[in-house]
Structure 1
Amino acid sequence: MSSSFNKFFEKGKAKVKEYEQKYNSQHSSNNQQSYPGQAPPQGYPGQQPQPTSPQNVPSPYTEKVYWKPSFDASTPVSHNFRHEQGDHGWGNNEKQNYTDNPANSFHHDNRLIVRGLVQNGSYTSARLTSHQTLSRPRGYLTATILPPSAEGVWPAYWMLPKDPFQWPNDGEVDICESWQGEGSNHTCLHWGHYNAEDHNKHQVVVTPLHDIASRPHTYGFAWIEEEGIPNWRGRMVWYIDGKPVQRANIPQGIRRMEDFRILLNIAMGGTVCHGKLPRDGYYDMVVSEMKMCEEPVGGWDQFERDFGFTPEGHPV
């Protein structure tokens, strides 16, 4: 097996277990700060690089937003997201305990902070899943994110169908995913098991982002799945800072895209991180904007042009 295949194979084994049951650090000083002997602060750390203006901003005169969660400090995180909780390893021997504690997920300066905390052998984090689904047969989801990047840390911004669902047959879409501080982003579509029979049911593109840990990027995802067209499977395109990086036909048999919901989480340790754990400190995923729009930047004509020349993901 190739190194790339091994990584995705291990990730797959992890997720199979999860749904059957119902980073010596390469940390960046920009994303992690140690606090020996005391708990990290609960407020937004001043050492964290402040997200700059998104690279992929539609004109306010043409933007058609149908959902945009408030990240105002007065709005509880639970207003827009459900906290999935537990420390059972999540099928991947992960170390973190997902909690609904405000120290692990909170709003600050109109940003959503998902924070992994490591202190004296305690590993806590948050796993958020949106109450809102894509809810439409076509649209555009976008978020501006600065993820943590360090050995032993695995942040992800991704989608699954709403409950109840069956993994992997119902599908999974990964939009912003990285691990081990490798300086790259993974966009993925999964709808099969990690075995020889389903090997081609995983489409992946790895995009090098040398500044993933120091500068926020805008991650977009557009889909179209209209009714009434024979043999219509629909199409999707992933974007980073307005540039299309991956395309895919929507596989037959997976749940309709309108049923998909957003997940944001920071995992620590586990199989994907080769058992390595992050050092003491905090690890933040900073989401400065998130919204669902009726059409992608440039409209559906631009989407069709993007789909025409954007590469498909490769099987793992």
Structure 2
Amino acid sequence: MKKYNNFINISLLALFTVFFIACQDEDQTFGEILAPTNIVVVPEIAGQDSANPNGDGSGMVTFTATADNALSYKYSFGAAQQNAPSGVTTFTFSDLGVNTYTVVVVAYGVGGVSTSTTIEVDVLATYSPPADLLATLVGDGSKTWRIKSEQNAHFGLGPVGGTVQAEWYQAGPEEKSATGMYDDRYIFNADGTFTHITNSTNDDPTVDVTGTVFGRDPLINELGPHNETPNGADIENYPYQDYSESWVITAPGGIETINLTGLGFIGYYTGGNHKYELFQRTEQPPNELVLRTTDGNNEFDWWFIITSEEEGASNDFQSIYNNLVWQDEFDVNGAPDPEKWTYDLGTGDNGWGNQELQTYTNNPENIIIEDGMLKITAKANGSGYTSARIKTEGLYEFTYGRIEARAKLPATAGTWPAMWMLGADYITNPWPACGEIDYMEHVGNDLNTIHGTLHYPGMSAGNADGNSTTVDTATSEFHDYSVEWTPDVIKILVDGEVYHTVINSDSLPFNSNFFLILNMAIGGTFGGDVDPAFTEETLEIEYIRVYQ
């Protein structure tokens, strides 16, 4: 492994330096080069007690080695090897049942001289990873993974133990392109070895093991000395060669976890226990995983989205919901169907909470179905504006599904059309605790920028959990706006392309009934200044459908 080779190289350089200086000044004296002695290795099997002498079935063992005159240690677990400068390391044994394992421990002293010892441990392992997970990670033997750099929140951080993906910081698409992270590739081999290629672009026509990586200062110093100047708390483009470690899947507390041996890591070096929890593993897409790991300072949880699709590959979205359960095709002229829709009327409290300028009505001049589509029209009305807002509250409320709407958006400055959903318990559980899912918002002051946003406690209003994408013909052509809402994940899309993803969990308010809302606001905190020449503008919606 590379890290051991680096140690040998450093040791040989140190010996050469000692020899050279000795030749220059024979009066110099040095201490004795002593081989380590009295090696003691103590294994601590997770969950071991009188009732469980071989542990709790996790297969996890923490080893602590000590020796006189030792500077560093190395463990050998058969094919897997781990360097342990402090003598402490953790390894997970995965063979099912109780098995006896032979562990070799090498203690290194001054000048690289070494002494070794061997111990045996009896360890119980009861967890067997599901076949579909192994197939996802390994594939046909040539599957490689990468950081999904083109997606928002592909890298980020949050509080330790947090359940909101990258709650405190989310890297935007390609934001870290100059750090040495995006050209890395990761291979989970079927034989249990983990290969980290540190530069996937320099192996043509022959393999070149050199590359660079990205990590946290000073934790990345665990990889060895370097000369890179920190950029804030980051070390970018740290020179590092391809290497191999081992990987195994466990499920402590029922959470599927990738365990890497030694100093193996994914994406950004954070030290710690080198365990990556599979925070999201859904059927679609099968080539994408969301990982979470805690850094060695126990300061942050770090989040990564990895994919096995290469950049530029097709990434067609596949919904898990395909049964049409509710729809309005807007094919009957007149007012909206009263069995499906009701109205919000008036100016609301403080302009519907956003200092909006419009008064909502149910007048045909503001809302009507004609020509096979719903038309919501905002009009200038003397010193004010009128518009419309309809909702399915009390008529159709549901939990989870795929919601699709096809629409053409207004273009005038000050317009603010939205297609969204609100938690049905908002009266007894006031916003943002009830939750809000905005799967299409657009403002005329920022033409063709489509916003997808979730509001919930800690992430609401100007600090909401959202992203945006550009649709060049949003105001001149019809496009599909949709959201895939599952117990595990919420994905917001335009024309079948995902541009924002939020991990759902029991701690978020997105696991109970919501209802649909369609409206067009004027001005307000998001709509901004209204064009002084504004007379009227129309939001046209061809249909809205719910699949479960």
Q: TM-score range by the shorter chain?
A: 0.5 to 0.7
Gapped regions of structure 2 (runs ≥ 5): 1-315
Partner of 1:185: 450
- Of 442, 461, 476 in structure 2, the residue corresponding to residue 214 of structure 1 is 476
Distance 1:101-1:257 versus aligned 2 partners, 3 A rule: farther
In structure 1, what is the Cα distance between the partners aligned to 2:451 and 2:353? 20
Deviations 1:282-315 (A, max 9, x none): 2111110111112xxxxxxxxxxxxxxxxxxxxx
Q: CA deviation at 1:249?
A: 1.0
- Three-state SS of the structure 1 residue aligned to 2:392 is strand
Amino acid at match of 1:79: E
Q: Residue 102 in 1 paired to residue 360 in 2? A: no
- Alpha-carbon separation, structure 1, partners of 2:442 and 2:505: 24
Structure 2 letter corresponding to 1:180: G
Which residue matches 1:135? Answer: 398
Report 1:240-279 matches (<5 A). Answer: 240-277=494-531, 279=533
1:90 counterpart = 2:90: no
Could you say which residue in structure 1 is the equivalent of 2:323? 64
Offset, 1:91: 2.5
> Structure 1 pair 217/257, CA: closer, same or farther in 2 (3 Å)?
farther
Post-superposition CA distance 1:220-278 (Å, at most 9, x none) = 111222xxxxxxxx211111111121211124444344511111111112232344356
Taking the aligned partners of 1:86 and 1:193, their CA distance within structure 2 comes to 29
| TM-fit CA distance, 1:210 | 1.9
SS across alignment from 2:524: coil
2:493 to 239, 248, 273: 239
Partners of 2:396 and 2:491 in 1: CA distance: 18
Cα distance in 1 for partners of 2:381, 2:420 equals 27
The letter for the 2-side match of 1:71 is: F
Q: TM-score, normalised by structure 2?
A: 0.38
1:289 aligns with 2:289: no
More strand by share: 2
Q: What is the alpha-carbon distance in structure 2 between the residues aligned to residue 278 and residue 252 of structure 1?
A: 46
Deviation at 1:202, TM superposition (A): 2.6
Mapped partners of 2:491, 2:437: distance in 1: 11
1:133 and 1:258 in contact (8 A); partners too: no
Matched AA of 2:434: D
In 2, are the aligned partners of 1:268 and 1:277 still within 8 Å (CA)? no
Alignment check: 8 A CA contact 2:493 2:500 kept = yes
The amino acid that maps onto 1:187 is G
* Distance apart, 1:63 and its partner CA: 5.2
TM superposition score normalised by structure 1: 0.64
2:440 equivalent in structure 1: 176
Which residue of structure 2 lines up, in the alignment, with residue 148 of structure 1?
410
| Residue of structure 1 in register with 2:339 after alignment | 79
Matched residue type, 1:105: I
Shift of 1:73: 3.0
Structure 2 counterpart SS, 1:286: strand
How far is the alpha carbon of 1:180 from its aligned partner?
Answer: 3.0
Equivalent residue, structure 1, for 2:380? 118
Change beyond 3 A, Cα 1:276–1:203: same
Output one character per residue of 1:88-110: Cα deviation in whole Å (capped at 9) or x when no partner. 42222221100111211110122
2:475 counterpart of 1:204:
no
Q: Distance in 2 between matches of 1:251 and 1:275?
A: 38
Once residues 339 and 532 of structure 2 are traced to their aligned partners in structure 1, the CA distance between those partners, rounded to angstroms, is 30
Residue deviations 1:199-219, cap 9 Å, x none?
A: 8x7321110122111111101
Alignment of 1:19-58 (within 5 A): none
User: In 2, Cα distance between the equivalents of 1:292 and 1:285?
Assistant: 20
- Letter in structure 1 aligned against 2:442: S
Quick one: percent identity of the two aligned structures? 26
The Cα of 1:70 is off from its aligned counterpart by: 4.3
Paired residue for 1:312? none
CA distance in 2, matches of 1:251, 1:149: 37
CA contact (8 A) 2:340 2:396 kept: no
Aligned mates of 1:162, 1:119 — CA distance in 2: 32
Q: CA RMSD in A?
A: 2.8
Q: Deviations over 1:150-185 (max 9, x none)?
A: 211111111111243420012111111011341200
Q: How many residues align?
A: 224
* Alpha-carbon distance change, 254 to 279 in structure 1, aligned in 2, over 3 angstroms: farther
Unpaired runs of 5+ residues, structure 1, are: 1-55, 226-233, 295-316
Partners of 2:515 and 2:335 lie apart in 1 by 19
Q: 1:283 and 1:219 mapped to 2: Cα distance?
A: 20
**Residues 152, 278 of structure 1: 8 Å contact kept:** no
Matched letter for residue 272 of structure 1? F
Aligned equivalents of 1:264, 1:287: Cα separation in 2: 9
CA distance in 1, matches of 2:516, 2:473: 24
Tell me what 1:31 maps to: none
Residue 67 of structure 1 aligns with an amino acid whose one-letter code is: W
CA distance in 1, matches of 2:408, 2:495: 13
Amino acid corresponding to residue 450 of structure 2 in structure 1: N
